[in-house]
Amino acid sequence: SAAEKGGFDWFMRKEIHEQPQAVADTLLGRFDADRRLTLDEVRISEAELRTIDKIVIVACGTAFYAGLVAKYAIEHWTRVPCEVEIASEFRYRDPIITGRTLVVTISQSGETADTLMAVRHAREQGAKVIAICNTNGSTIPRESDAVLYTHAGPEIGVASTKGFMTQVAACYLLGLYLAQVRGTKYGDEIATIMRELESMPAKIQKVLDAQQQVLDLAAELVDSKTVLFLGRHVGYPVALEGALKLKEIAYLHAEGFPAGELKHGPIALVEQDLPVFVIVPPQGRDQLHDKVVSNIQEVRARGARTIVLVEEGDHEVEPYADVLIRLPQASTLLQPLLATVPLQVFACELATLLGHDADQPRNLAKSVTVE
């Protein structure tokens, strides 16, 4: 009923609006009185965590994309090699797992069979497994060595939204915790990143407050047959997630690409008026930002309609953007918590305009309990 949906037309739209609170709840109470990050639920000894020489993140669907974001943060903060793998591919290829491998599974439901089988396989090989999960007492955390719960609250919409955002937040917490335990980041640095993380819910709210522009854009693009999404670094998994949302609920062909890979193939797809979303990294010292700006010019020169997600105050992209979606400023690694939101709103609105059930898309289940 409308009441259950808090006055929204879909649970999905309600859940998109709950994201500032969901992320805040996931971050809550993780810092102790000495300003040390304490993940009480992660009951693997610090000594054991110091011996880890490889991290493997395993997940399905949207949770896999949260894992791709996590890889950038975890490797940057901990200097431990981190791989991310689709759960259904993992165990059947004889992966290299030892007692010094830390396997991190990410699952909103905690019941996804592919992910559960990966947990069992990893533990049989002697790896320690940490589950990042939203559902208390579900099978995956019960069968893991440790669990880090996201606090998104129940997610009803089949296409994950607040589940994803809280998974990303939990991955940052885990990365910082491992960095603290292993001594690759010190108290002050961790406190600075935690403060930025704690500022994200208010920024997510700002993105939501500006969503009318995205709703209008969905109305303009309602007849699209294909939509492309480009990003680099953590913007690449955001691009993949933006495309997945359109496939799942708007039944629209969409692809996400690493912007730097464009010239090696996907640019052949670009034709007059093709909508191309581009996630622009924050302006900074590295060349990432400028390279993405060049990519925007390249697709636009070939007729693409560019929809550019970019931080406030970045004027360099303006000449090449048909539509500018402004994001509050954030550091590169944390930007996915902002850039994902307009893409969710866009998909939800497009599905609505096309007359589809955004909460119960055809052929999909909220939790897939068969391999």
Contact partners, residue 302, CB within 8 Å, separation at least 6: 267, 270, 271
| Buried-exposed string 218-233: b where 16+ CB fall within 10 A, e elsewhere | beebeebeebbbbbbb
* 109 touching ligand G6P, by CB under 6 A: yes
Please choose, out of 94-102, 153-161, 184-192, 316-324, the segment that lies near ligand G6P by the rule CB under 6 A: 153-161
- Smaller CB distance to ligand G6P: residue 138 or 335? 138
d(CA 32, CA 253): 47
d(CA 184, CA 190): 10
- Structure-token pair, residue 32: 């102790």
- Smaller CB distance to ligand G6P: residue 107 or 295? 107
Among 78, 88, 108, 161, binds ligand G6P (CB under 6 A): 108
d(CA 366, CA 352): 19
* 115 touching ligand G6P, by CB under 6 A: yes
Q: How many CA atoms lie within 13 A of 78 on its CB side?
A: 29
Q: Does residue 345 sit in helix, strand or coil?
A: helix
Q: Can 225 be counted among the known catalytic residues?
A: no
Minimum CB–partner distance for residue 158 and ligand G6P (Å): 5
Give, as ranges, the residues between 18 and 77 that touch ligand G6P (CB under 6 A): 60-63
Please choose, out of 27-35, 104-112, 253-261, 297-305, the segment that lies near ligand G6P by the rule CB under 6 A: 104-112
Q: What is the DSSP letter of 37?
A: B
Please choose, out of 95-103, 157-165, 285-293, 344-352, the segment that lies near ligand G6P by the rule CB under 6 A: 157-165
- Smaller CB distance to ligand G6P: residue 80 or 173? 173
* 12 touching ligand G6P, by CB under 6 A: no
Q: What is the DSSP letter of 361?
A: -
Residues serving a catalytic function are 366
- Contact positions toward ligand G6P, by CB under 6 A? 60-63, 107-109, 112, 115, 158-160, 364, 366-368
